[in-house]
Structure 1
Amino acid sequence: MFEEFKPVSKVEWLARIGEDLKGRPLSELVAGFGEVSLSPFHHADDRGGRLPVVLPLTRSWEIGEDIEVSDDFIKTNRRLLRALEGGVNAPRLILNKNIAYSSLAIILEGVEPDRVSLQFYLTHRKANPGSLLAHFHKFVLLHRIDVKNIRAGLDWSPGAVVGPADVANLFERVGQSGMEIRLPTVNGLHFFSDKKPVVELERVVSLGERFLHRYATEKYPPAFINKHLQFSVAVGKNYFLNIAKLRALRLLWANVMKAYGMGGPMPPVAVHFAEGEQTDDPHTNMIAATTQAMSAVTGGADRLTVLPADAYSGEVSGFSRRIARNVQHILQLESHFDQVADPVAGSYFVEKLTRVLCEKAWAAFIEN
């Protein structure tokens, strides 16, 4: 079929573009992405004979939802069950204080942790992830659940007093439990910046590499830590930049793994919406959420949490939570975004943006 179409050279395209612009220079259409500027015109000749880079991205992704744990544990349980019934398979429980086993048992009543990917996030300075891990393990055992089927994640605030010895103890407990628990999390949410995407990427990669150094011991070498890591990053409203940043993160971390002589897959990447990006119009936010979600999964998110349209108000309704879930259901079940791995591979523009972000971020990483 391709033989029927005559190849069009870069010179011919530029000539046609010049006619359409009627004398205006193409440079006026250069797109700015923070520290990066790109021409809107890209041609196969610019590739220098290189083939498209198809990243080993996850086809499907987990559907997340943030659930803040209140003092009313029964109410929290109802909200959690409602989320699961609505199709969420990776809920994140946000705890602002340490809780007892009895409280966790109430929160997880009716939940089958071997069928979902439970995520726990401790936000307070005196966070005790070891205690929470012990409570969760006890819950699994008391409910006669096969520990080999447990996939979960444990994260804590960057301000929490959790040192290398504490993390080593967590690794020990996870190993003894037989459960698959992702920890620690390379939390890059607070690095988000559409104005400085290169700086954002450099900081996320630097934090991850620092974890390999900080938590490594003779018993738990960097390769072990990398196997248990997960990343958490944010996306804004710039569609193409979101895609390119997520693709660039994978390439950058692949370089780190290569430098450490590590094989295996890239740690999973959880994607959230950046704080402060919503307007005070829920309908506008609802529409924006669809393209933000599309860019996140196109870029290769392993887990995605869509921010409800009225989250800016501080009072999230059940309706907006349901719409946030359904955005992902539509992308999976109707639009089939989960059927193609790295769908933008071969896009000259996105690949160029990905490559430039990688080059600049890696140079900054090496320098720092």
Structure 2
Amino acid sequence: MKNIFEEFPAPSHQKWLELVEKELKRPLEPLEIADSLFSDPFLDQEFLEKSTLTKSKEGWVIFQKIDITDDFQSANREILEVVNGGANGLRLVVLTENYDFKEIFKDVDLSKLSLSIESSSDTFKVLKTLDEYCSDSHQNNTPMEIITHNQNENYKSLKPQLLISESSEKPLFQNLSEILSEAENIGIQKGKLFWIKLNSSENFYLNIAKIRALKILWEHILEANGADKPEMKVWVNIKNTNPDANQAAIAATQQAAAAISGTADAIEIDTLDYSSDYPKGFPERITRNIQNLLWFESHLNKVDDPSAGSYFIEDLTEKIKNEIWNLFLKNR
């Protein structure tokens, strides 16, 4: 038998394109993914620079927000319920100047959790108090990660990782370029660990590609500086904009799947707004279970870069990457 590729030569991209346009009876037009961002709907591998991302650990952090008030016992019950329900990250918003971490974290194994700390008054004081609690020889209970905007490093046990947040008011590429510049300053020049916090949108493909573009560019920056760390970690925040809780749950699932496909390292979904007719804790549980399903049913936690190899995603990633990089170099 003759070589099949000699007998049936592979058609060129141009030949395929001609057939597509013949069927459509019009020229094939690029797809507008976002404002001033277009992607070719008909691609093959000869046009693409393939990139595969790897993560330092399996899965992602499932964050859930906890408000800390003067009722420490209530906060403790909520934390235990959240952790037992699948969350491995707590975003603690401290709304009081009096807090007792011994009560708040009673029976909680912090060594298996990532914590993000925010305070309505003094974040440094909160971190200092938490540091004293974790340093207590009788506790030996230090969080796996501490994420905060506070840059003070004067702690015994805690090693805070700085949080760089995306602005919702700036154009997309400018926003991502400034994030990359700040990451270079913190990660390369200062040698600190950091997280990027991105806002999700209803644009599925954009959600995937912008995470991948930032991470690929960060790998280039590390390589240019002869470094292999720190890793860029991305936390995606999914806000609920639909007043109907069930529709919001569907939208949040789609956005969470996009974030995971883009290699997000942490995801927080705003608690779904179910009516007071439901029992206490129900909205939080349903919100949390969106990520539990993606983890335990879809097994996306076992895949490093779920969207790698998709010509469409690779092309979109490349276009976003080039836009960010051009602005990054221009503003240096």
Measured in 1, the distance between the counterparts of 2:285 and 2:242 equals 19
Flag the 1:150–1:282 CA change in 2: closer, same or farther, 3 A.
closer
Q: Which amino acid is the alignment partner of residue 176 of structure 2?
A: L
Partner of 1:138: 132
Q: Which amino acid is the alignment partner of residue 196 of structure 2?
A: F
What is the DSSP-based 3-state SS (H/G/I as helix, E as strand, rest coil) of the residue aligned with 1:209? helix
Partner of 2:36: 35
Partner of 1:358: 321
Partner of 2:282: 319
Q: Which amino acid is the alignment partner of residue 297 of structure 2?
A: E
Alignment of 1:35-54 (within 5 A): 35-47=36-48, 50=49, 52-54=50-52
Partner of 2:251: 288
Q: Among 209, 213, 238, which residue is 2:203 paired with?
A: 238
Cα distance per residue 1:241-296 (max 9 Å; x no partner): 1010100111222334345443225132221114xx51111111010111101011
Measured in 2, the distance between the counterparts of 1:299 and 1:243 equals 4
Cα distance per residue 1:169-223 (max 9 Å; x no partner): x3242xx42x4x33221122x3477xx43122112213333446xxxxxxxx835
Measured in 2, the distance between the counterparts of 1:366 and 1:311 equals 46
8 Å contact kept, 1:223–1:262: no
Is 1:155 the counterpart of 2:153? The answer is: no
8 Å contact kept, 2:70–2:98: no
What is the DSSP-based 3-state SS (H/G/I as helix, E as strand, rest coil) of the residue aligned with 1:338? helix
Alignment of 1:104-253 (within 5 A): 104-122=101-119, 124=120, 126-129=121-124, 131-142=125-136, 144-146=138-140, 150-156=143-149, 167=151, 170-173=152-155, 176-177=156-157, 179=158, 181-188=159-166, 190-191=167-168, 196-211=171-186, 222=189, 224-225=191-192, 228-253=193-218
CA RMSD in angstroms comes to 2.8
8 Å contact kept, 1:91–1:118: yes
Flag the 1:317–1:257 CA change in 2: closer, same or farther, 3 A.
farther
Flag the 1:98–1:299 CA change in 2: closer, same or farther, 3 A.
farther
Partner of 1:17: 20
Unpaired runs of 5+ in structure 2?
A: none
Q: Which moved more, 1:316-325 or 1:64-73?
A: 316-325
Percent of counterpart pairs with the same letter?
A: 27
Is 1:26 the counterpart of 2:4? The answer is: no
Is 1:270 the counterpart of 2:263? The answer is: no
Q: Which moved more, 1:37-46 or 1:322-331?
A: 37-46
Measured in 2, the distance between the counterparts of 1:359 and 1:235 equals 21
8 Å contact kept, 1:201–1:249: yes
Flag the 1:300–1:127 CA change in 2: closer, same or farther, 3 A.
same
Measured in 2, the distance between the counterparts of 1:260 and 1:96 equals 41
Aligned length: 324
Higher share in helix:
1
Displacement after TM superposition at 1:83 (Å): 0.5
Flag the 1:236–1:308 CA change in 2: closer, same or farther, 3 A.
same
8 Å contact kept, 1:114–1:145: no
Partner of 2:82: 83
Displacement after TM superposition at 1:345 (Å): 1.3
Measured in 1, the distance between the counterparts of 2:137 and 2:275 equals 38
